[in-house]
């Protein structure tokens, strides 16, 4: 494998990038979220429609293109890559990609490869992920009630996700549980879910729903403010703010009663864009500078038509275009500014 100058990737070993990715607001972009598929084995009600139209497989970046594009970002100073989707582990060749990326840790500026997953495939893959150098997985789990899980995921089995969590834990992967706060659906069981996760030694992050794409319900019916949830949790729990900065959008607290960490991601009620350090690449090679905006650049076309130099030039353009902040609105009657779902952009 060669880098954009034609040198082997190892030639970039440990040297700081010549031209780091810095946007117009002075933010260093060091984190790439890389979506490998828009497909999924679940159909979460807040994420996609019951009958989504998935992209034809011919539209997807090939394994080689995914690796080349990842190298272009690594050469410009990206130190963390999160593989996501859709459900990343349903893509057939995803483990080869992760192994390729894992092999770059330490020999390039890449420091971490991690994964966001619904965990259903982890009993098969957890050991291989750990062997590839993955240390942490974010696992999405919105409820511990099997019937609610089946309803929210439109047919998923809670036992499959729990088995995946056990497999990740047994393989030595550090698990973080991500939970979307949903009006009525899990509003009254979040405390139980957090206590369970902390009891297993897992950090937990609650996420406010974002108006991404059309789903079969109104966003205003799904949205639950984390300010409300926090106030509710504080009836009985002490949440001590922590200064932990992950470069991510979560604000962390220690729950004194459980000893665990609780992150709150509040795109709607408390904007976190000032510290944004990330961009997102879809499985078709579209680079989105912001999850909540429509601006994008076609890295697949650049790669296919102009090679790695054209990709590198587009990365400069991306830095000029990265907006200061998103513009989400979940009020009743609002139509989503962003037509693509989280599964399409890469969560």
Among 140, 178, 222, 345, binds ligand SF4 (CB under 6 A): 140
Question: How far from chain centre, in Å, is Cα 264?
Answer: 15
The residue number whose beta carbon is nearest to ligand SAM equals: 347
Q: Are 141 and 111 in contact (CB under 8 A)?
A: no
Dihedral sign of CA atoms 301, 97, 45, 209 in order: negative
Q: Are 58 and 90 in contact (CB under 8 A)?
A: no
Question: Strand runs (DSSP E) across 37-141, as ranges?
Answer: 80-84, 112-117, 136-140
Binding mask of the shown chain, residues 99 to 138, with x at each position contacting ligand SF4 by CB under 6 A: -------------------x--------------------
Q: Which is nearer to ligand SAM, 28 or 183 (CB)?
A: 183
Q: Are 282 and 288 in contact (CB under 8 A)?
A: yes
Among 78, 210, 343, 346, binds ligand SF4 (CB under 6 A): 343
Angle at 11 between CA 8 and CA 17, to 5 degrees: 120
The interface partner of residue 4, options being ligand SF4, ligand SAM, none and the CB cut-off 5 to 8 Å by kind, is none
129 phi and psi angles, rounded to 5 deg: -65, -45
Q: Which is nearer to ligand SF4, 41 or 244 (CB)?
A: 41
Please give the helix or strand (H or E) that residue 291 lies within, else none.
none
Q: Look up residue 273 and give its DSSP letter.
A: G
Structure tokens at 278: 């990330």
Alpha carbon distance, N-terminus to C-terminus of the chain: 28
Q: Are 4 and 72 in contact (CB under 8 A)?
A: yes
Least distance CB 18 / ligand SF4 (angstroms): 36
The interface partner of residue 340, options being ligand SF4, ligand SAM, none and the CB cut-off 5 to 8 Å by kind, is none
Instruction: Determine the Cα–Cα distance for residues 209 and 203; give it in Å rounded to an integer.
Output: 19
Among 32, 74, 80, 87, binds ligand SF4 (CB under 6 A): 87
86 makes contact with ligand SF4 (CB under 6 A): yes
20 phi and psi angles, rounded to 5 deg: -65, 160
76 makes contact with ligand SF4 (CB under 6 A): no
In the complex, the residues that contact ligand SAM under the rule CB under 6 A are 40, 46-47, 84-85, 87, 116-118, 140, 178, 180, 207, 209-210, 212, 342-343, 347
The interface partner of residue 205, options being ligand SAM, ligand SF4, none and the CB cut-off 5 to 8 Å by kind, is none
The interface partner of residue 212, options being ligand SAM, ligand SF4, none and the CB cut-off 5 to 8 Å by kind, is ligand SAM
Beta partners for 180?
207
Stretch that binds ligand SF4, among 2-10, 82-90, 202-210, 231-239 (CB under 6 A): 82-90
Q: Which is nearer to ligand SF4, 145 or 232 (CB)?
A: 145
The interface partner of residue 43, options being ligand SAM, ligand SF4, none and the CB cut-off 5 to 8 Å by kind, is ligand SF4
291 makes contact with ligand SF4 (CB under 6 A): no
Among 21, 32, 44, 101, binds ligand SF4 (CB under 6 A): 44
Dihedral sign of CA atoms 321, 6, 95, 277 in order: negative
Footprint of ligand SF4 on this chain (CB under 6 A)? 40, 42-44, 47-48, 85-87, 118, 140, 343
């Amino acid at each position: 494998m060669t880098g954009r100058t034609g040198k082997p990737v190892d030639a970039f070993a440990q040297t700081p990038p010549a031209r780091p990715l810095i946007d117009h607001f002075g933010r260093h972009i060091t984190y790439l979220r890389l979506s490998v598929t828009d497909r999924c084995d679940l159909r979460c009600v807040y994420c996609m429609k019951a009958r989504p139209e998935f992209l034809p497989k011919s539209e997807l970046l090939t394994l080689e293109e995914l690796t080349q594009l990842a190298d272009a970002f690594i050469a410009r100073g990206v130190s963390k890559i999160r593989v996501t989707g859709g459900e990343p582990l349903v893509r057939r060749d995803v483990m080869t990609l992760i192994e390729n990326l894992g092999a770059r840790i330490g020999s390039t500026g890449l420091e971490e490869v991690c994964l966001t997953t619904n965990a259903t495939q982890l009993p098969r893959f957890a050991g291989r992920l750990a062997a590839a150098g993955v240390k942490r997985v974010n696992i999405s789990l919105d409820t511990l009630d099997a019937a609610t899980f089946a309803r929210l995921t439109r047919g998923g089995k809670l036992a499959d996700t729990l088995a995946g969590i056990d497999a990740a834990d047994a393989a030595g992967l550090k698990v973080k549980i991500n939970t979307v706060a949903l009006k009525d659906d899990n509003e009254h069981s979040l405390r139980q879910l957090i206590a369970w996760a902390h009891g297993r030694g897992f950090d937990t992050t609650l996420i406010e729903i974002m108006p991404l794409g059309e789903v079969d319900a109104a966003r205003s019916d799904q949205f639950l403010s984390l300010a409300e949830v926090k106030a509710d949790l504080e009836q009985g729990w002490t949440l001590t703010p922590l200064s932990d900065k992950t470069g991510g959008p979560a604000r962390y607290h220690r729950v004194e009663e459980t000893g665990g960490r609780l992150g709150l991601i509040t795109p709607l009620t408390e904007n976190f864009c000032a510290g944004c350090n990330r961009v997102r690449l879809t499985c078709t090679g579209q680079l989105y500078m912001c999850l909540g905006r429509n601006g994008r650049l076609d890295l697949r076309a650049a790669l296919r038509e102009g090679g790695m130099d054209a990709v590198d030039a587009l990365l400069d353009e991306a830095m000029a275009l990265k907006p200061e902040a998103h513009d989400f609105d979940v009020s009743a009657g609002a139509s989503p500014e962003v037509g693509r779902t989280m599964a399409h952009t890469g969560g």
